[in-house]
Structure 1
Amino acid sequence: MKNLSFSILFLLLIALLVGSQTLYVVKETERAVVLKFGEIVQDDVQPGLHFKIPVMNEVKKFDARILTMDSRPQRYLTLEKKAVIVDSYVKWKIENVSRFYQATSGDEFVANRVLSSRVDTGLRNQFGERTMHEVVSGEREELMTELRDRIDTVAKNELGITIVDIRVKRIDLPPDVSESVYQRMRTEREREAREHRSKGLELAEGIRADADRQQVVLEAEAQRDAEMIRGDGDAQAAAIYADAYTQDPDFYEFYRSLQAYRESFSGNGDLFVLKPDSEFFQYFKQTN
């Protein structure tokens, strides 16, 4: 009984060993090739459970997801021979598994090293054909698209990979030129500020002169209108007085004399030198 159990256990171990050597699994996130004594006999193995011949066959698996190659910042020269420090990264994935294995032996570091060299050369050429303004803002998107298309063609032919995207994270000036550039920018901004201030002062003087002119015109027009209104009032007053005078001349003359007396004798220190028979005192002489 013990021998039978030992035999069954032994057979199970043999079966598990044979199964582990003949069966393999490719995940959804992987790509694989099957080798026969180092030669590819099956490429681009689909995800799932597969069989292989023990000892004779070997399976190489690779990551089929989008991978990132983050390059170290590099120094490039623009069309004006100005140096810039460029920090970039590349997104890539395996497209042709057989070619990728033949070019890199399935090593991602080898692929990254070759790809980094190609991207470095491409960026150097692209920056050398453009000015500082164009690479910073004007044609940055166009630069990245053109570089991606060029590198993608080379990468497919040489490495069996496709370039998903190439991006520049940041563009900096070298420390030795940053201070001079900032000083030049500061000088230009100060010059623009002086120009704006001088234009502002000139505009202010023009506005102030126009306001003074409008003030003079308004005051002159107001004085003219006031004189016209005053003249009309005096004319109407004279007409009213004349009309009243014509209705009762004696009463009007008496009323005007009373006003003259009131205004003349309003002050305590007033002194008049008049003849007693003067017309001014005619109503003092009348007793009835």
Structure 2
Amino acid sequence: MNRALILAVAAAVGIVVASSTLFTVHQTQQVLITQFGQPIRVITEPGLQAKIPFVQSVIAFDRRLLDYEAAGEEVILGDQRRLIVDSFTRYRITDPLLFFQTAGAAEAGIRARLNSIVTSALRRVLGNEPLLSVLSTDRTRIMGEIRRQVNEEARRFGIEVTDVRIRRADLPDENTQAILNRMQSERERVAREARAEGAEVAAQVRARADRERTVLLAEAQAQADILRGQGEQDAIRIFAEAFQRDPQFFQFWRTMQAYREAFSQGETRMLLSPDSEFFRFFRESMQMPGAASGAAAPAPRAVALPPPVPA
């Protein structure tokens, strides 16, 4: 009985010693071994490890990305506008020994220091930027500069900052309406300038189009007058050449046209002397041999005259 008890006690002691000596490092962890509070060594490889029981202690640190959300801070921008910035930071522990020496064994020890670092960087960088830059595509450049400054200061704590982002940027309640009114006035001013420039360009285009239209119409009218004059000249030349072949017939033809125009209405009254040149062809027809012998002149026939020709 005593031997069995001794064996049981020895087994229990062995189990306790083994549990205090052996420990497992998970793949998401990195371990710092301390002896009487002093750091001895750092283990970053996962697997089963051993330490001196009851003398050395194991402090595990997460090697994954960690998040830290900072409270909203009021920041004065480069154009003296106030903005409430709510940010978050992502970091990882790269040097467990340095982290233990500067921030302690718990991750909570780094949060106060990280909050101070991030807030200072936000104030420095945003203090040189206007509101429109923070709200535009320049925000990526601004966040890159903030991340660079935060990472430089955080390295002395054994951590690496991989990202800093502005989650929300709000205007203070007392300044929101005034700033919105100012922004609206600015946008309206830009819109008025754009409309004025557009109206100026439209007037220039319209004036140029009217000038070209006037030139085109004048050139077309001049060309039409030239063509019309050439046509009338050709017509006169053709008529002149045709009538020069028989001038007497031309004179007779013009007289017949005058008779048609004068007597076409049927109610025309003319006061002329009997020897007027206008009735020369009538007198000549009366002096023909058939008319002089007193014989009865044949009844006049209706003769269809051709249409008048231009003079």
Residue 92 of structure 2 aligns with which residue?
93
- In the alignment, the residues of structure 2 paired with residue 212 and residue 154 of structure 1 have an alpha-carbon distance, to the nearest angstrom, of 69
Residue 117 of structure 2 aligns with which residue?
118
Distance change in 2, residues 1:144/1:257 (3 Å): same
Distance change in 2, residues 1:107/1:270 (3 Å): farther
Q: Given the two structures, how large is their TM-score scaled by the length of structure 1?
A: 0.78
Contact 1:92 1:161 in 2 (8 A): yes
Matches within 5 A, 1:19-30: 19-30=18-29
Deviation at 1:30, TM superposition (A): 0.8
Deviation at 1:155, TM superposition (A): 2.4
Among candidates 225, 228, 231, match of residue 229 of structure 2: 231
Deviation at 1:94, TM superposition (A): 0.8
Deviation at 1:270, TM superposition (A): 4.6
- In the alignment, the residues of structure 1 paired with residue 233 and residue 56 of structure 2 have an alpha-carbon distance, to the nearest angstrom, of 129
Letter in 1 for 2:38: E
Among candidates 158, 161, 171, match of residue 160 of structure 1: 158
1:2-21 C-alpha deviation (Å, 9 max, x unpaired): xxx99999998776665444
Q: Given the two structures, how large is their TM-score scaled by the length of structure 2?
A: 0.73
Range with bigger deviation, 140-149 or 175-184: 140-149
Letter in 2 for 1:163: V
Deviation at 1:233, TM superposition (A): 1.9
Partner secondary structure for residue 50 of structure 1: strand
- In the alignment, the residues of structure 2 paired with residue 59 and residue 82 of structure 1 have an alpha-carbon distance, to the nearest angstrom, of 50
Deviation at 1:90, TM superposition (A): 1.7
The size of the alignment, in residue pairs, is 282
Partner secondary structure for residue 76 of structure 1: strand
1:225-280 C-alpha deviation (Å, 9 max, x unpaired): 3333222222211111111112123333344444444444544x652415466544
Q: Which runs of 5+ in 2 are unaligned?
A: 291-311
Residue 81 of structure 1 aligns with which residue?
80
Letter in 2 for 1:27: H
Contact 1:44 1:96 in 2 (8 A): no
- Is 1:184 aligned with 2:210? no
Range with bigger deviation, 167-176 or 70-79: 167-176
Partner secondary structure for residue 65 of structure 1: coil
- TM-align CA RMSD: 3.7
Range with bigger deviation, 55-64 or 203-212: 203-212
Residue 270 of structure 2 aligns with which residue?
273
Deviation at 1:44, TM superposition (A): 3.3
Contact 2:29 2:44 in 1 (8 A): no
Deviation at 1:43, TM superposition (A): 2.1
- In the alignment, the residues of structure 2 paired with residue 109 and residue 283 of structure 1 have an alpha-carbon distance, to the nearest angstrom, of 137
Residue 53 of structure 1 aligns with which residue?
52
**Percent identity of equivalent pairs:** 36
- In the alignment, the residues of structure 2 paired with residue 282 and residue 117 of structure 1 have an alpha-carbon distance, to the nearest angstrom, of 129
Distance change in 2, residues 1:210/1:270 (3 Å): farther
Distance change in 2, residues 1:173/1:221 (3 Å): same
Give 1 or 2: higher helix fraction.
Answer: 1
Contact 2:23 2:49 in 1 (8 A): yes
- In the alignment, the residues of structure 1 paired with residue 68 and residue 193 of structure 2 have an alpha-carbon distance, to the nearest angstrom, of 48
Partner secondary structure for residue 178 of structure 1: helix
Deviation at 1:49, TM superposition (A): 1.1
Distance change in 2, residues 1:265/1:24 (3 Å): farther
Contact 1:44 1:98 in 2 (8 A): no
Distance change in 2, residues 1:210/1:139 (3 Å): closer
Letter in 2 for 1:88: S
Distance change in 2, residues 1:216/1:134 (3 Å): closer
Deviation at 1:100, TM superposition (A): 1.7
- In the alignment, the residues of structure 1 paired with residue 222 and residue 150 of structure 2 have an alpha-carbon distance, to the nearest angstrom, of 85
- In the alignment, the residues of structure 1 paired with residue 200 and residue 267 of structure 2 have an alpha-carbon distance, to the nearest angstrom, of 61
Matches within 5 A, 1:1-288: 19-132=18-131, 143-157=142-156, 159-267=157-265, 270-273=267-270, 275=272, 278-282=276-280, 286=285
Partner secondary structure for residue 106 of structure 1: coil
Distance change in 2, residues 1:216/1:87 (3 Å): same
Q: Which runs of 5+ in 1 are unaligned?
A: none
- In the alignment, the residues of structure 2 paired with residue 280 and residue 234 of structure 1 have an alpha-carbon distance, to the nearest angstrom, of 28
Letter in 2 for 1:82: R
Partner secondary structure for residue 88 of structure 1: strand
